[in-house]
Amino acid sequence: MTQAIPYWHVDAFSAQPFGGNQAAVMLLERWLADDVLQKIGAENLFAETAFLVPDESGEADWELRWFTPTDEVALCGHATLASGHVVLSSPDRFGAAESVTFSTRKAGVLEVVREGDLYELGLPVTRVEPSSQPALLDAIGFRGETFLSYEGAEQTAIILLESEAEVRALSPDMGKLRDIDLMAICTARGDGGSGTDIVSRVFVPAWGVDEDSVTGSAHAALAPFWAERMGRNSFTAHQASERGGDLTLRLAKDQVGDRAWLGGPCVTVVEGSFYL
């Protein structure tokens, strides 16, 4: 018997279609087998497909998992923001609310808050420390300072470059990066071209996405990284991918620790059913 699964295609961190990062959001009554979830992620072929199931434990409003075309991931920011947008912009279906919570398997409980036409997502921060990564620099094709995560999301690397122009000029060797099991975040201060405080590009071919369009989890690492260097806890960011996306960033502490709050708009471009 064919099953119709409610489906939304959302452009996150964009107020207009064709910008930001694409995510599929799919609403399940209960969890399907993992191999089926992975096949759906491959079928959608977005950087992430977010699956929601009502959370009956009372811990949060929804359970949430994310799949790339090739893997389940421990944390995805833009697809969480997209999921919050779907729930909070559909009061007739989900009830009127200004915030929604999601329980995840490795990232704890995440919250999305709506403020007018914008959304803010709170993510646990990722902290990095200096680390020699010659193979990574060779694959990126630029010299820079390299840092590796020691707290928060694992397998996260930051490459600090000297200028926004260097970030925009990157043309990494994706074949070499595919053999390096890291999310490679290349970043520099904004110099006017982006109109924001910092710029970045993010490469994750080892996880099935050569260059990500706008990466929430990367900004959970960039927020404390740049806050330390700028001496302030709020600033603006631009991810200089082909689609591009703009975010607000701020650091705040809550009962579970430091959070990076990522802000931006979302737009639904497709709503319908996925038939399984």
Q: Which residues are catalytic?
A: 48
What is the residue whose two structure tokens read 């904004």? 190
Provide DSSP, 85-147: HHHHT-HHHH---SEEEEE-SSS-EEEEEEETTEEEEEEE--EEEE---HHHHHHHTS--EEE
DSSP 8-state code for residue 74: S
Angle between helices 77-88 and 216-230 (to 10 degrees): 110
Distance CA 35, CA 33 (A): 6
Q: Which of 15, 38, 11 is nearest to 23 (CA)?
A: 11
The tokens for 21 are 């990062």
Distance CA 184, CA 201 (A): 8
Radius of gyration of the chain (CA): 18
DSSP 8-state code for residue 158: E
The tokens for 24 are 């599929």
Give exposure, 74-91, as e/b (b: 16+ Cβ within 10 Å): ebbbbbbbbbbbbbbbee
